[in-house]
Structure 1
Amino acid sequence: MQIVSCPSCGAEVKFRSHASVMAVCEYCSTRVLKDADAVKDLGKMSSVLEDYSPIQIGTSGVLGGRAFNVIGRIQLRYAAGMWNEWYLLFDDGATSWLGDSSGLYTVTTARDTQPPLPAFDELEPGGMVRVGSERMMVSEVRTADCTGGQGELPFKVAEGWQAKVADFRRGSSFVTLDYSDGPEPVVYTGVSVTLEAMQCQLLREDEQIERSAGRYRGKLSALDCPSCGGPINYLPGQTANLLCPSCNAQIDAASPKAQVLAAGERVDRVPTTLSLGAEANLNKQRYRILGVMVREDDEGTRWTEYLLYGARSGFSWLVETDEGWWRAGVMPEWPAWEQTGADTVMLDKIMYEKLYDYGATVIYAAGAFNWRVQVGDHVRVFEFQRGQTRLAAELSTEELIWSRSTPVAADQIKAWFGVAVRGKARRAQATEKGRYGSAAKKFIMVMLAVNAIPMLLNFGGTLVFNLLGALAIFLPALFLDSIDKGDKS
């Protein structure tokens, strides 16, 4: 360990890793450059947002039988949200990065990889590319701005520094290409992890998170909408992207003063079964609804998604559809999908068959979210099912995300939240439209197959009766589908 004095305030600045070239003074936020036997003042570094992450400088753990300590951190922000990269120093002197995004964690380590490596501008989420000897699917492409830093870092970084990165997945394999320093990327291999599996110690307690969350060195963000003054049910530090329930303004709360990103028009509140701020006890953990989002498919069917947050479990979803309730969570490990649009995926040696393929558009959103959401956001959804479990891939222009959902009884929702589920049980989700017409078509095909031989022997007479029978079946089905559509609109 090397200890130097901060050129700005004189406080001790520690360099634990020989690979570290810069450290941020914890007292005055000066960026201190380690240059041979001297140190240089590189100017101030923006303070990080003290968010909901339980990790902090000094957190320790074990990965792959090797002990590590967290010695540094950078905070990055891109169009859809923000995340932390924690700099890890292992006891053997090796270093890695611990990605921390909405309660999902990955550890990445630099490796040498032979060409071919794709160009950054050629990458699109959902595409298949070759990374070295592996054929992988592009999961995310983003350019992010560094908004703050702490502790030791292996490179010079300042406000305005940008990271250009792309993530790739194939089953449990995870690779990141970092194009921040030029067209030739640095290759990192990754693995999904949990804090429990890494036996993490010296994590922040819930009470400490609640006290510090949302502060820039002691400054609290406002909770009133800067656009209309209306109250927003916002938990400081839990989320940084807000949508005012009253005026629909988009608000960035990841700064000392909440800023309006886009003005909105006053909208009528959409009635929902569960309200913003509602709390529930799930598996002996306290959860709270931070955001509510209503989405619509290509045929006009709507459903409601509630964003839940638990201090130790992170983010998850409750989804209220015409089929009933579902509980969903983002998957840290992906199923094997040969290519976007393929009819099957494999997860844990179990085959899932494609159930639906449709577009989904946000038509209403309110509250706080861990990514930037707005009305009009559109994704393509691919759903797969095996038994009671569904897997869903959501593809946008920026990323591909997989989630897993299981059904939840309405009575269970009542038990969790202590509220009655309003309205009658709804019937079908995004893709059961035209169910009567679909059934009628299948019956008509069977009828024609059964009468194939009589039609060959007496084509004219038999055809007329078959056409009349088909109309007698199909027209009432169309009428019933129209009633279905009217009930759902």
Structure 2
Amino acid sequence: MQTVSCPGCGAAVVFRSHASVMAVCEYCKTTVLKDADSVKDFGKMSAVLEDYSPLQIGSSGVFGGRAFDVIGRIQLRYAAGMWNEWYLLFEDGSAAWLGDSSGQYTLTTEKTASNKLPAFADIVVAQTYEIAGLSYLAAEVRIADCIGGQGELPFKVGPGWQAKLADFRHGSNFLTLDYSDVVQASDDSKVDQPALYIGKAVTLSELKFQLLRDEDVIKASAGKFRGKITSLNCPACGSNMDYLPGLTANVICSRCHSQLDSSGTVAQVLASADRMSKLNTTLELGAKATISANSYQIIGLMKRKDDENTVWTEYLLYSARAGFLWLIETNQGWAKSQVLADWPLWYHGESATLANKSYGKLYEYQAKVIYAAGAFNWRVVVGDSLKAIEFGNGIRKLAAEISADEITWSLSTPVAADQIRAWFGDNIKADKAGKFANAEETIATLSPQFIFWLLLFNAIPLLSDFESNWWVVGLGVAAIYYPAKFLGPAGKGDE
């Protein structure tokens, strides 16, 4: 451990790791560079956006039987959103990175590559690559800007610093190739190898975290409260909108359909469209529900359509305790969907394997966004189109959504309409409530007389031996006629 004085304000700046080359002064945000026994002022580092994350400098945990502390963070922003990279120092002096994106976490450590790694420009999303002895699926390729830093870091970052990253997946295994410092010769004869980081998808409970920020601390941190829905006035039309500070950086005004960037201190209009009338959906933005003992609220909704112009609605729900959840409404019914941290194994074949279960390919189509409103944890643009591939195993469905920059996997299960009604209750629009009683209405609209004659017609073969079967026919008539009589339109005495 080494303590130095900040060149900017004189406050103590502590370097806990010998590998750290810079630290951000807690008081004046001066970037302090460590050079042998001296320190240098590298200018001011932008303060990180105090977001929803429960992690903080000083949090501690255990992984693989080794204790660690969180000693640094960089905050990165790219075209579709933003995320945190937390720098961890283990008790044995080794280090690791904990990626923190929309409540999903990956822990990686730097490794030495044993074979030649692909060039950044050659990586294609959803293609497989043999790296470090495994067949990895390219999950995401992006260039991100560093928008803030905190604590100690093992390399020099500052204004204008960019990260060039490619992420890969193999089940729960996670791999990152970092091309940020790769230098290519002018004659293309030599390309430096990217840094290689290997790890896995993890959860905070799995890492046995201690000293996490509680809700009161998060709330006191510039009002950026995890789970607190905050109001924002649209800069384009003045309409009031709800969003999650630091969590949903992309907000779409439901009135004028302007696309806003709310990741900074002031919301900025990214794109604007003609004013649109409010979409008539079964569930509305802001509707609340209790699902599996967790309180959820609908923060975003979008409509999409496929190649055959079939349209469906997707609702994004958020819970302070449980994170994100999707509800999908189609003309076939409802489904609950969760984005997966542990990915299926799939090599572009007719099946995918998840938890040792095989899912057969069902459909492949283009999914296009035709309407979006509310807040999202990535950038949603009307007109965006991506390839969707669905796989099935019984009632469960896997879905891969593939764009030019990213692939995501989700697992969905059907939800009965009665369950949706139980979850949302009065939050379901009155003019839509009837759709949940389709089955009951179908029975109710069948008159007792119709059911009687239908049964009688189908009982003709039994009448050929009426003496021995008359009681069976009579029982069948009674069993259907009398319930129909009391369920039918004329028998609804409780209305």
The alignment's TM-score, normalised by the length of structure 1, stands at 0.83
Q: For 2:233, what is the secondary structure of its paired residue?
A: coil
CA distance in 1, matches of 2:418, 2:269: 40
The match for 1:205 is 214
In the TM superposition, what whole-angstrom CA distance separates every residue of 1:423-481 from its partner, at most 9, and x where no partner exists? 52699xxxxxxxxxxxxxxxxxxxxxxxxxxxxxxxxxxxxxxxxxxxxxxxxxxxxxx
The match for 2:108 is 108
The match for 1:413 is 420
In the TM superposition, what whole-angstrom CA distance separates every residue of 1:69-119 from its partner, at most 9, and x where no partner exists? 110000001111110000000011100000000000000111011223111
Query: Counterparts in 2 of 1:142-157, with a 5 A limit?
Result: 142-157=142-157
CA distance in 2, matches of 1:266, 1:214: 31
CA distance in 2, matches of 1:184, 1:235: 39
The match for 1:45 is 45
The match for 2:249 is 240
User: CA shift at 1:284, angstroms?
Assistant: 2.1
The match for 2:444 is none
The match for 2:378 is 371
Q: Alignment partner for residue 196 of structure 2, among 172, 187, 191? A: 187
Query: Counterparts in 2 of 1:89-488, with a 5 A limit?
Result: 89-182=89-182, 183-212=192-221, 223-339=232-348, 342-419=349-426, 420=428, 422=432, 423-424=434-435
The match for 2:24 is 24
CA distance in 1, matches of 2:219, 2:370: 32
Give yes or no for contact 1:49–1:214 (8 Å, CA) kept in 2: no
Unpaired runs of 5+ residues, structure 2, are: 183-191, 439-495
- Letter of the aligned partner of 2:84 in structure 1? N
Give yes or no for contact 1:117–1:132 (8 Å, CA) kept in 2: no
- Letter of the aligned partner of 2:435 in structure 1? K
The match for 2:453 is none
User: CA shift at 1:295, angstroms?
Assistant: 0.7
Runs of 4+ in 1 over 3 A off after TM superposition: 213-216
User: CA shift at 1:215, angstroms?
Assistant: 5.6
In the TM superposition, what whole-angstrom CA distance separates every residue of 1:27-80 from its partner, at most 9, and x where no partner exists? 111101111111111110111111111111111111111111110000001111
Give yes or no for contact 2:76–2:147 (8 Å, CA) kept in 1: yes
Identity %: 59
CA distance in 2, matches of 1:350, 1:213: 46
CA distance in 2, matches of 1:426, 1:397: 42
**CA distance 1:413–1:209, shift in 2 (3 Å):** farther
Q: For 2:241, what is the secondary structure of its paired residue?
A: coil
Give yes or no for contact 1:165–1:178 (8 Å, CA) kept in 2: yes
Give yes or no for contact 1:11–1:27 (8 Å, CA) kept in 2: yes
**Looking at CA atoms only, which structure, 1 or 2, has the larger radius of gyration?**
2
User: CA shift at 1:130, angstroms?
Assistant: 2.5
CA distance in 1, matches of 2:140, 2:198: 15
In the TM superposition, what whole-angstrom CA distance separates every residue of 1:253-275 from its partner, at most 9, and x where no partner exists? 11111111112211112111111
CA distance in 1, matches of 2:137, 2:16: 37
**CA distance 1:124–1:425, shift in 2 (3 Å):** farther
The alignment's TM-score, normalised by the length of structure 2, stands at 0.82
User: CA shift at 1:222, angstroms?
Assistant: 7.3
In the TM superposition, what whole-angstrom CA distance separates every residue of 1:150-185 from its partner, at most 9, and x where no partner exists? 000000001211000101122232211110001421
CA distance in 2, matches of 1:365, 1:255: 22
In the TM superposition, what whole-angstrom CA distance separates every residue of 1:383-424 from its partner, at most 9, and x where no partner exists? 111111111000001101000111112222222222346152
Give yes or no for contact 1:213–1:238 (8 Å, CA) kept in 2: no
CA distance in 1, matches of 2:231, 2:320: 22
**CA distance 1:256–1:404, shift in 2 (3 Å):** same
Give yes or no for contact 1:166–1:178 (8 Å, CA) kept in 2: yes
CA distance in 2, matches of 1:104, 1:213: 23
CA distance in 2, matches of 1:206, 1:112: 40
User: CA shift at 1:309, angstroms?
Assistant: 1.2
User: CA shift at 1:212, angstroms?
Assistant: 2.6
**CA distance 1:426–1:406, shift in 2 (3 Å):** farther
Give yes or no for contact 1:76–1:83 (8 Å, CA) kept in 2: yes
CA distance in 1, matches of 2:436, 2:124: 40
The match for 2:88 is 88
Give yes or no for contact 2:230–2:243 (8 Å, CA) kept in 1: no
CA distance in 2, matches of 1:159, 1:221: 29
Q: For 2:216, what is the secondary structure of its paired residue?
A: helix
CA distance in 1, matches of 2:437, 2:209: 44
CA distance in 1, matches of 2:37, 2:224: 35
